[in-house]
């Protein structure tokens, strides 16, 4: 009883002159902007001490947080952060991605982690930011939101008593979103080395024909063009089907096995150049193309689809992939047509290149398993 | 090794103004005081193992509050609040829960929430001394001294005479400000007869006497009282002591005593930072604390931390004069707390604006 009275009085007198008491500053910062394709790009800076209080990252408990300690808890921290922040537009949840390139920053002499984020939202509708991070460990925590496309605006504040922020934002442009996803599709095939090597494996023998169990140059350039067109069309048709189906979640296969399978297709396509078992490549290409389409869908998933433009953005991405693919064909095919008459092309380049492609792809198989 | 690591960390965070990727896995990216309080750690562990046990959560909140008043520890108010929030939302009926909650809310200047919580305690136990005292305190803050005095007088028969007298005399200083001298001597006479209590009430009474003395324009007397319990004092006590020292122009005393405390504390307290900045400005020798304070004020403004309105008002009155901003924050402050000092800040801010012709 006396202890309780003492405690109360202790607290009583400490508030004797209320105006002088101070509080600590658990503060996070969200900086970024929305573009006219419905994408929010920015960074979220979180005080490392808050992360420690919420999850515990100082694994040895010595009060010194090391870079390696934070990195070892990246997955757990990411999960916590993902559950703390949400963007919605027109009441539809946006796809929030925390990028992997975390950096360290400082505010008022306190260590912060800066996490790049990207949220793909629908391009129309009212935007809301919902936040519930760290309030369960410190009710005084606040998130200061700086939207750089809001001219002359002060930071907006999210707190324990005010966890949702409405953002006035002009509707995005369908055309801009369409163009952006065409661009992304083009970039993604150029970054997809497995897709490129698969395509090249097919193209290497497009300019050749089999005679007496040997590869020889196909002298008919019209034949080459038609052949190539069929193969590319088969590939395009196939991966468009599965890209669309996977992006719309009509089919869902474990991404790891999809990636492994894609690497296997590259091995088989390149091996077929060395040991030609299949000469009619159309159906083979179609079958393998189905797997490649699922791989493209994975990349599209990382970007996130604006929920109100799904079909259009898938179409745009697909078109981008085709443009990128066409660019590769237009760059490579003329060179192969020029080189096809040379012995070194048939004996060394085709077999040699195919062998290298096989070896690289086998390495991918092991890496992806 | 730890010192070197800390130095490296301090160097890194001060040099790198822009985000960067540490080059070494061992680079220290943040530093905080390692937990020292075994008792607190023990309760935290128990709360972690039994997160739904109200008794443990209340004990944890109380443990947080024991730390919260000390320099560099006020983050524990937020922790205490977060700890109890689930119980409050479930409308748990334990009166000890509501008492702790009331203390936290009172500290956060959520006075109506505090009073609601205290009423829940008093419904169950009308003679609860702690709840009554806290209720009276809030009434004083809210400029209701008559109500406060009546609450204090209800303690007659339940609490000792000194407690009742101190409570009601404080209310009287607001009911009859013209009688400050008489009220002061009444309380001093009681102390001279009975002596200061041996428990924490001593600190409360010392602060009350010092406040009355200062309001009665006797800072020397106020300083004499506050000198009695300066060791291991709370932030509130230290801030009051510093105000008295500043009134006596003992700026060096303030710098010498508070610098050491603030430098050793895990985190800075705005109240102490403000007094350090004031003393430093008065001595016009350096700007170290003023710089630290201006950074903190900038963040407070960004966060719109209205709980610190009085400090922001004082900053714009005395450190970085800005009459408009001082009046803005003084008005926000007075909406919530209306004690003597709060009214004084508002009067000064209004005067500053009149002088500027705004």
Q: Does A66 touch chain B (CB under 8 A)?
A: yes
User: Are A104 and B20 an interchain contact pair (Cβ–Cβ within 8 Å)?
Assistant: yes
Residues of chain A with pLDDT under 70: 1-24, 149-154, 170, 172, 302-304, 306-307
User: Are A13 and B77 an interchain contact pair (Cβ–Cβ within 8 Å)?
Assistant: no
How far lies B240's CA from each of A6, B218, B225, B260, B340, in Å? 21, 14, 11, 17, 13
Q: Across residues B192-213, what is the average pLDDT?
A: 92
Q: Which residues of A touch B95 (CB under 8 A)?
A: none
Q: Does A165 touch chain B (CB under 8 A)?
A: no
User: Are B9 and A64 an interchain contact pair (Cβ–Cβ within 8 Å)?
Assistant: yes
User: Are B66 and A67 an interchain contact pair (Cβ–Cβ within 8 Å)?
Assistant: no
Q: Which residues of B touch A20 (CB under 8 A)?
A: 235-236, 239-240, 243, 271, 310-311
Q: Helix, strand or coil for residue B57?
A: helix
The confidence score (pLDDT) of residue A66 equals 96
Distance from CA of A12 to the nearest CA of B (A): 7
* DSSP structure string for A78-147: HHHHHHHEEEEETTEE-EEEE-S--EEEEETTEEEEEEEEEEE--SSS-EEEEE-SSTTT-TT-EEEEEE
CA distance A277 to A283: 13
Q: Helix, strand or coil for residue A46?
A: strand
Average pLDDT, chain B: 89
Distance from CA of A211 to the nearest CA of B (A): 59
Could you tell me the two tokens for B310?
Answer: 């009085």
Q: Which of A262, A51, A213, A19 is nearest to A137 (CA)?
A: A51
Distance from CA of A5 to the nearest CA of B (A): 6
Distance from CA of A9 to the nearest CA of B (A): 6
Q: State yes or no: pLDDT of B209 exceeds 80.
A: yes
The model's confidence at residue B203, banded by pLDDT at 50, 70 and 90, is: very high
Best of A6, A7, A16, A100 to substitute, by most chain B Cβ atoms within 10 angstroms, is A16
- Better pLDDT: B348 or B52: B348
Q: Which residues of B touch A43 (CB under 8 A)?
A: 19
Q: Which residues pair with A142 in a beta bridge?
A: A27, A159
CA distance A10 to B233: 11
The model's confidence at residue B51, banded by pLDDT at 50, 70 and 90, is: confident
What digits encode the pLDDT tens for the residues B164-173? Answer: 999 999 999 9
Q: Across residues B92-98, what is the average pLDDT?
A: 91
What digits encode the pLDDT tens for the residues B304-338? Answer: 888 889 999 999 999 999 999 999 999 999 988 88
Quickly tell me which residue has 């209205």 as its tokens. B306
Q: Which of A210, A212, A208, A258 is nearest to A231 (CA)?
A: A208
The confidence score (pLDDT) of residue A151 equals 60
CA distance A43 to A211: 60
Distance from CA of A273 to the nearest CA of B (A): 45
What digits encode the pLDDT tens for the residues A315-324? Answer: 888 899 889 9
Q: Which residues of B touch A15 (CB under 8 A)?
A: 106-107, 137, 236
CA distance A327 to A182: 14
Q: Which residues of A touch B339 (CB under 8 A)?
A: 17-19
Neighbours of A102 (CB within 10 A): 20
Measured between CA atoms, the residue of chain A closest to residue B159 is A5
The model's confidence at residue B5, banded by pLDDT at 50, 70 and 90, is: very low
Distance from CA of A84 to the nearest CA of B (A): 16
The confidence score (pLDDT) of residue A153 equals 62
Share of chain B above pLDDT 90, in %: 65
Q: Which residues of B touch A104 (CB under 8 A)?
A: 12, 16, 19-22, 29
Q: State yes or no: pLDDT of B10 exceeds 70.
A: no
Which distant-in-sequence residues (6+ apart) come within 8 Å of A4 by Cβ? B96, B130
Size of interface A-B (CB pairs under 8 A): 230
Q: Which residues of A touch B301 (CB under 8 A)?
A: none
CA distance B87 to A71: 35
- Better pLDDT: B269 or A149: B269
How far lies B83's CA from each of A308, B47, B64, in Å? 41, 9, 10
User: Are A67 and B22 an interchain contact pair (Cβ–Cβ within 8 Å)?
Assistant: yes
CA distance B345 to A330: 78
How far lies B175's CA from each of B135, B168, B320, in Å? 17, 10, 35
Quickly tell me which residue has 């163009």 as its tokens. A179
CA distance B32 to B6: 10
Distance from CA of B278 to the nearest CA of A (A): 14
Rounded to two decimals, the ipTM of the complex is: 0.76
Q: What are the φ/ψ torsions at residue A85 (nearest 5 degrees)?
A: -130, 135
Q: State yes or no: pLDDT of B227 exceeds 70.
A: yes
User: Are A104 and B5 an interchain contact pair (Cβ–Cβ within 8 Å)?
Assistant: no
Please name the member of B20, B66, B129 whose beta carbon is closest to the beta carbon of A5.
B129
- CB-based contact A123:A177 (threshold 8 Å): yes
The model's confidence at residue B4, banded by pLDDT at 50, 70 and 90, is: very low
């Amino acid at each position: 009883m006396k202890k309780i009275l003492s405690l109360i009085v202790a607290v009583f007198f400490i508030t004797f002159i209320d105006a002088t008491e101070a509080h600590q500053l658990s503060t996070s910062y969200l900086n970024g902007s929305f573009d006219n394709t419905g994408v929010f790009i920015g960074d979220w800076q979180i005080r490392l001490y808050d992360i420690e209080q919420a999850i515990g990252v100082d694994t040895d408990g010595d009060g010194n947080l090391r870079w390696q300690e934070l990195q070892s808890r990246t997955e757990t921290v990411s999960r916590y952060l993902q559950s703390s922040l949400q963007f919605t537009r027109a009441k539809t949840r946006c796809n929030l991605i925390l990028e992997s390139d975390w950096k360290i920053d400082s505010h008022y002499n306190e260590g912060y982690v800066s996490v790049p984020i990207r949220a793909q939202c629908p391009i129309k509708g009212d935007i809301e930011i919902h936040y519930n991070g760290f309030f369960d460990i410190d009710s005084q925590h606040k998130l200061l939101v700086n939207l750089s496309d809001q001219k002359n605006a002060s930071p907006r504040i999210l707190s324990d008593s005010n966890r949702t922020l409405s953002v006035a934002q002009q509707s995005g442009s369908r055309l801009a979103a369409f163009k952006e996803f065409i661009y992304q599709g083009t970039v993604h095939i150029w970054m997809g080395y497995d897709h490129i090597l698969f395509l090249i494996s097919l193209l290497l023998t497009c300019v050749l024909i089999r005679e007496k169990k040997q590869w020889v140059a196909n002298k008919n350039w019209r034949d080459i063009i038609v052949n190539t067109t069929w193969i590319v069309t088969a590939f395009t048709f196939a991966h468009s089907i599965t890209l669309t189906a996977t992006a719309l979640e009509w089919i869902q296969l474990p991404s790891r096995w999809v990636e492994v399978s894609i690497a296997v297709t590259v091995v088989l396509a390149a091996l077929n150049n060395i040991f030609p078992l299949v000469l009619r490549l159309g159906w083979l290409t179609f079958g393998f193309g189905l797997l490649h389409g699922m791989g493209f869908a994975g990349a599209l998933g990382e970007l996130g689809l604006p929920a109100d433009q799904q079909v259009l953005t898938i179409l745009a991405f697909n078109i981008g992939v085709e443009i990128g693919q066409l660019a590769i064909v237009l760059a490579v095919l003329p060179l192969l047509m020029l080189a096809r008459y040379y012995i070194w092309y048939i004996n060394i380049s085709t077999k040699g290149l195919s062998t290298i492609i096989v070896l690289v792809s086998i390495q991918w198989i092991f890496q992806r398993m | 090794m730890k010192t070197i690591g800390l130095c490296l960390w301090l160097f890194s965070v001060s040099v790198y103004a822009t985000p960067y990727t540490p080059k070494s896995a061992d680079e220290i990216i943040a530093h905080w005081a390692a937990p020292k309080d075994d008792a607190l750690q023990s309760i935290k562990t128990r709360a972690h193992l039994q997160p739904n046990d109200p008794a443990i959560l209340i004990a944890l909140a109380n443990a947080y509050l024991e730390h919260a008043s000390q320099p560099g520890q006020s983050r524990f108010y937020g922790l205490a609040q977060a700890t109890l929030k689930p119980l409050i939302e479930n409308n748990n009926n334990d009166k000890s829960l509501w008492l702790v909650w009331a203390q936290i809310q009172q500290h956060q200047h959520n006075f109506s929430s505090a009073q609601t919580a205290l009423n829940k305690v008093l419904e169950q136990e009308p003679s609860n001394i702690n709840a009554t005292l806290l209720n009276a305190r809030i009434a004083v803050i809210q400029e209701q001294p008559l109500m406060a005095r009546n609450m204090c007088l209800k303690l007659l028969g339940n609490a000792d005479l000194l407690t009742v007298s101190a409570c009601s005399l404080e209310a009287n200083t607001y009911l009859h400000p013209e009688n400050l001298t008489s009220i002061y001597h009444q309380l001093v006479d009681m102390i001279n007869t009975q002596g200061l209590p041996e428990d924490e009430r001593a600190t409360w009474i010392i602060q009350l006497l010092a406040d009355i003395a200062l309001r009665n324009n006797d800072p020397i007397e106020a300083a004499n009282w506050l000198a009695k319990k300066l060791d291991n004092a709370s932030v509130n006590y230290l801030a009051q002591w510093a105000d008295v020292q500043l009134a006596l122009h003992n700026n060096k005393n303030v710098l010498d005593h508070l610098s050491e405390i603030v430098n050793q504390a895990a985190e800075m307290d705005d109240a102490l930072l403000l007094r350090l900045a004031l003393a430093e400005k008065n001595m016009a020798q350096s700007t170290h604390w003023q710089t630290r304070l201006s950074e903190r004020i900038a963040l407070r403004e960004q966060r719109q931390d209205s709980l610190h309105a009085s400090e922001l008002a004082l900053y714009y009155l005395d450190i970085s004069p800005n009459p408009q901003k001082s009046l803005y924050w003084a008005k926000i402050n007075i909406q919530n707390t209306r004690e003597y000092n709060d009214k004084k800040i508002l009067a000064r801010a209004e005067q500053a604006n009149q002088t500027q012709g705004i």
